[in-house]
């Protein structure tokens, strides 16, 4: 992508999710099937009733831990917290944290000795997330403004990276994978929910199935996703489709690890 195209993608995605956040801040539902996120688009087309894997759902118990606004603002395609195997004292980073649902759930699981970071480029979503953290009484969280291609955190500072239907929205996915590998500590791991395509589908065919902001047009194929993570230095890569979101396209759980013998680095974000 050219710099101009990258900027255009960022602006399209930012505008789409800013409107979704504002609809919640104005006490309107931002659930999947409303004007802020059309029912025919990607992650927004998948409801709990369509999920074939319990990992793609938030349980009633999880929802009870959260402010209503955090639940209403969830526009993802799965539940990365359910597969992240979070432990007491860990540091977690949520890429594209939106209204903060996965950050708040993560913060409760890592406890007071751990910390959960949320990264989002949309001011309206950050405002909503911070409001939700206050409402939930969760203090071990920090919401950062930035793009997921350039994470504003030091190298080797995070134990677990999660994300919920956001990496498919990135303009430069190779940069995202490199940033994941950079911020992870040696032995750190990835637990992501995202949209992937059959290897047989061309980028044009993916675009025909839905918009970029709707989580479809920008999705990688399964093999592209796997090779992108491996090229960034991650191992134990697995991609497990959970349910269909469009013909030949799926919500999936993505796992990977950073090798435990990776030398530490003091490189900071550019």
Domain housing 207: 3-257
Instruction: With respect to residue 265, please indicate whether it lies within any of the assigned structural domains.
Output: no
The CATH number of whichever domain residue 24 belongs to comes to: 3.40.50.150
Average the pLDDT over 81-90 and give the result: 93
Instruction: With respect to residue 133, please indicate whether it lies within any of the assigned structural domains.
Output: yes
- Residues 6 or more apart whose CB falls under 8 angstroms from that of 118 comprise 93, 94, 97, 98, 100, 102, 103, 129, 141, 142, 143, 144
CA distance 247 to 209: 8
Total domains in the fold of the chain: 1
| Selection from 231, 138, 183, 172 nearest residue 13 by Cα | 172
Is the sign of the CA dihedral 70, 107, 152, 178 positive or negative? negative
Largest CA distance in the chain: 49
Instruction: With respect to residue 42, please indicate whether it lies within any of the assigned structural domains.
Output: yes
Using CA atoms of 51, 52, 55, 56 in order, give the dihedral in degrees to the nearest 10. -20
Q: What is the pLDDT of residue 213?
A: 59
How many degrees, rounded to 5, is the angle at CA 236 between CA 234 and CA 237?
A: 75
Instruction: With respect to residue 266, please indicate whether it lies within any of the assigned structural domains.
Output: no
Lowest mean pLDDT among 21-35, 36-50, 70-84: 36-50
3-state secondary structure at position 242: strand
Quickly count: other Cβ atoms within 10 Å of residue 85's Cβ: 12
Instruction: With respect to residue 269, please indicate whether it lies within any of the assigned structural domains.
Output: no
Instruction: With respect to residue 50, please indicate whether it lies within any of the assigned structural domains.
Output: yes
- What predicted TM-score, i.e. pTM, was given to this entire model? 0.79
Q: What is the pLDDT of residues 120-149, one digit of tens each?
A: 998 988 998 999 999 999 999 999 999 999
Q: What is the mean pLDDT of the chain?
A: 80
**pLDDT over 90 percentage in the chain:** 54
First and final C-alpha spacing in the chain: 19
Instruction: With respect to residue 262, please indicate whether it lies within any of the assigned structural domains.
Output: no
pLDDT level of residue 161 (50, 70, 90 thresholds): very high
Instruction: With respect to residue 73, please indicate whether it lies within any of the assigned structural domains.
Output: yes
């Amino acid at each position: 992508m050219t710099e101009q195209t990258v900027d255009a993608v960022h602006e399209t995605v930012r505008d789409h999710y800013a409107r979704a956040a504002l609809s919640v801040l104005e006490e309107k539902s931002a659930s999947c099937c409303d004007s802020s996120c059309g029912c025919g688009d990607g992650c927004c087309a998948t409801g709990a009733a369509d999920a074939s894997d319990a990992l793609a759902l938030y349980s009633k118990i999880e929802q009870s831990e959260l402010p209503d606004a955090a639940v209403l603002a969830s526009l993802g395609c799965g539940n990365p917290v359910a597969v992240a195997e979070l432990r007491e004292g860990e540091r977690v980073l949520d890429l594209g944290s939106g209204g903060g649902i996965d950050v708040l759930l993560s913060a409760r699981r890592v406890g007071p000795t751990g910390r959960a970071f949320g990264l989002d480029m949309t001011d309206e979503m950050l405002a909503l997330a911070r409001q939700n953290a206050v409402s939930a009484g969760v203090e071990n969280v920090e919401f950062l403004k930035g793009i997921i291609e350039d994470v504003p955190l030091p190298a080797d500072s995070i134990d677990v990276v999660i994300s919920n239907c956001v990496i498919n929205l990135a303009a430069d996915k190779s940069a995202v994978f490199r940033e994941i590998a950079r911020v992870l500590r040696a032995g750190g791991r990835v637990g992501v929910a995202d949209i992937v395509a059959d290897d047989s589908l061309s980028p044009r065919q993916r675009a025909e199935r839905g918009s970029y902001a709707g989580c479809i047009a920008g999705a990688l194929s399964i093999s592209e996703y796997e090779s992108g993570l491996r090229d960034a230095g991650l191992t134990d890569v697995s991609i497990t489709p959970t349910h269909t979101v469009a013909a030949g396209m799926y919500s999936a759980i993505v796992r990977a690890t950073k090798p435990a013998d990776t030398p530490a680095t003091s490189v900071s974000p550019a």
